[in-house]
Structure 1
């Protein structure tokens, strides 16, 4: 299903930031940046005023009948202790049955659980609520601490900024790396965080920029064809390999190997979209060394071969 129509479903108690994530990601006109315009609407169980968790309200024009035409339904964070409004669970199940994709942000996952749509699926939510999610829906396979989980038709994400990561993931799946990067640039967020990264760092990052790994991360992205093993990067950072690996995980939420691999896959996506270079050439250019290694990592991360990705997204 090509993503063309998106609905955000809200009711009293909705969290404003997570609602804003859906509006920012899917509701803006970015055609001047080469991003397809989506038909975006906000829906509620009943049209009219909807109260946010912070005390203000918005007026929602559409009822749940608008969900019937949506390719993607987004559910922002809601109050977990309240039962679903009448008809919401049935509407979500009906949308799922006809093939619509469902995305939850933070505690929006509990609405999917109440609708019985998480049974047997890997899923996540904000790290503070993962134990509760697992207890309330024992048939769900809750993955704690990750940014988001893509279980195919259902995508669940952690709190706040992790919702942006999940929306960019969906843009990338539907329209490719170039479009996802354009959306990310307009939102002024990095496009490269994979779902498996940790939701939070192990300790606070020092405030002084010189003491962080930000300059090294920028250098890595510009030098993906170079040897980027832990030993090499540790020497460049004037640290022991053990200290460097620990510091890298603390600052990025990922191991050096997984972070570098994700950057190489992202760069390979861009080259597959924008050039007609061979897979072998691209593999060497992004640091995988040979086409077989690129195919292996690409298939693991994206679920399809480089050739299939090029056929789908090439300019």
Structure 2
């Protein structure tokens, strides 16, 4: 059994056919902690054995570094976690995500023979596998987030303010109103959300993406907050693509005024006509 898990976020993989059969790719350009591990553990073109822990049980897999030269663009860098269709891990994942596996299998049977069209889960079916680092470069922890976990969270946060919810994520505040039966699901999703936000804070050096300022540096402190573009209490979307890093001032103003974010132009438009474009962007 592994001890002293360092618990840094690597990736949140949406459940799909590849996960049940042969593995998944990890785009590492935005995964700050994983890039540090991968660069010292595995070189371009290499494949190494790794251990994955799921609910306390260990499984064997391969880490493949298939990274493409930077000249092909900023989104080319990936590594892959691979295992066979008949492996213990693939079988375990089908067991944990039985509902998703049954749905995707059914849709595969209905597809035309030879079709490679990607099958996405319906919104209320969506499930995820979170990957975290440990103190060992060749060992990772997997955590399942099922549709039931998400539904429990949805019911608990109904009616809560976005500002309160984001404060819990940013500052690790706990909500003790939930019953014991619900706490495991809440903790899993809160931890995932906080880890994604923490990774983004590192990516931007704790600077605000709107004003570029590093708040608190003169006091030996870095104060930055993760904000959900589409409010989490409505979307339950904690992906990096739905989070930006803000200074406390801009975060408070956005929640007070509720401006509209234009994803194409990467700017906020306020009710009084003021527009603010992101001055820092490495992940949207």
What TM-score do the two structures reach when normalised by structure 1? Answer: 0.27
Higher strand share: 2
Q: Which has the higher contact order (CA 8 A, sep 6+)?
A: 2
Higher helix share: 1
What TM-score do the two structures reach when normalised by structure 2? Answer: 0.29
